[in-house]
Amino acid sequence: MPEPAADAAGAKRPVRVLVVAGSRRVPSFTRALCDAAAEPLAAAGAEVDRWDVGDPVLPLADPACHRDPRLHPDPDVVRLVAAADAADAFVLGTPVYNGSMSGVLKNLLDHLAGAAGPRAGGVHRADPARPAPPRGPLRLSGSGGPRRASPDDARRRRGQGCWRRRPVPSAGVRRLDVRRLAAIDMHGLKGSPVRARVIVAEFAFGALAAVVIAALTLASAPTLGWWLLSVWLVGVCLNYVPLLAHALGFLRRPETMAAELAGVDIRAELRHYTTAQLWVLVPLALVVFTLAERA
């Protein structure tokens, strides 16, 4: 839980956090990550303020205003500076473009070059006799597009502290990531909401089929061969139960699917899971993989 901060009179007050979403893309993985980061902060008692670089769109930073950006002629810049001055901490979310932050986030930070009240840590402090508290912003990295990342990019991102949920599994990994399979299947190439609902319906149909097949088998007293076929079909259909559970969670909270796929090469994942999803044909395989992940 964030430690309470102190105001000018020394009284305790909640920590105030400014969460900045540094992508203009709609919909945005970066924005979803910022939403996911803001929730536990607010739950822990912090006062969370939000800023989205897509609305409002700030003008280009003017070096003439760096000495005191509070005097900037644009009212949105003045609001930004006031929000930064009021914050005890920042969460900066950005896609990775060419191994660095987005241009719109850099422009926002340039506007804050001299924004430093008693609690802020800019370049020019309004109160030089009162040092600013050390603050290290948490940077959240969303997907920067289809460009293939180089080893230097990966090292640079690790050095910047950019967060990625999990690496893309290699073809040699035998254990299937059931959660990732559900997410990538629902997302597809374009992330269409219609596709997501169709896939959820497919998972629900597969899970329901297990019950129907089992009931028909018990009611018809079939031959041994039919019994074996029915057992195999029931085992296959039960593989859709964990997929359905993950899919319903993603449908209720779309930001969790965005977080699951943040920083992921969607095309590469689709190629991988097109083959890996054949595990569905192995009775109870996905159920076992899900239990192994939770163990």
Last residue of a domain, one of 111, 127, 160: 160
Q: Mean pLDDT of all residues in the chain?
A: 77
Domain of 136, CATH number, reads 3.40.50.360
Q: For a pLDDT cut of 90, what percent of the chain falls above it?
A: 24
Q: Which residues lie below 8 Å from residue 153, measured CB to CB, with a gap of 6+? A: 96, 99
Domain-embedded: residue 98: yes
**Same domain for 187 and 125:** no
Tell me, yes or no, whether 214 and 135 share the same domain. no
- Same structural domain for residues 184 and 156? no
Q: In this structure, is residue 272 part of a structural domain?
A: yes
Range of the domain at 196: 178-294
Last residue of a domain, one of 133, 160, 187: 160
- Please state the pTM of the whole predicted model: 0.44
pLDDT digit string (tens) for 186-212? Answer: 999 888 889 999 999 999 998 888 788
In which residue are the tokens 């020019």 written? Answer: 124
Residues 142 and 217 in one domain: no
Token pair 């948490």: residue: 138
- Whether the per-residue pLDDT at 73 is higher than 80: the answer is yes
What pLDDT does 141 receive?
A: 53
**Residue 79 in domain:** yes
pLDDT range class, residue 146, cuts 50, 70, 90: very low
Q: What are the pLDDT digits (tens) for 39-62?
A: 999 999 999 999 999 888 899 888
Give the pLDDT confidence score for residue 176 in this predicted structure.
80
Residue 288 lies in a domain: yes
Cβ(151)–Cβ(247) below 8 Å: no
Residues 84 and 202 in one domain: no
pLDDT value of residue 16: 92
Hunting for tokens 């109870």 — which residue is that? 284
> Does residue 165 belong to any structural domain of this protein?
no
33/220: higher pLDDT: 33
**16: in domain:** yes
87 and 213 share one domain: no
User: Same domain, yes or no, for 238 and 144?
Assistant: no
Q: What does the pLDDT look like over 104-137, one tens digit per residue?
A: 999 999 888 765 543 444 433 444 444 444 444 5
My answer on whether 206 and 246 are in the same domain is yes
Instruction: Say what angle helices 240-252 and 224-238 make with each other, to 10 degrees.
Output: 20
54, 120: one domain: yes
Same domain, 53 and 150: yes
Classify residue 169: in a domain, yes or no. Answer: no
Q: Which residue has the tokens 């690790």?
A: 158
Query: Are residues 156 and 187 part of one domain?
Result: no
Give the domain-ending residue among 98, 129, 160: 160
116 in a structural domain = yes
Longest dimension (CA), the chain: 89
Task: Indicate whether 92 and 144 sit together in one domain.
Answer: yes
Distance CA 205, CA 207 (A): 6
If one counts the domains in the chain, the total is 2
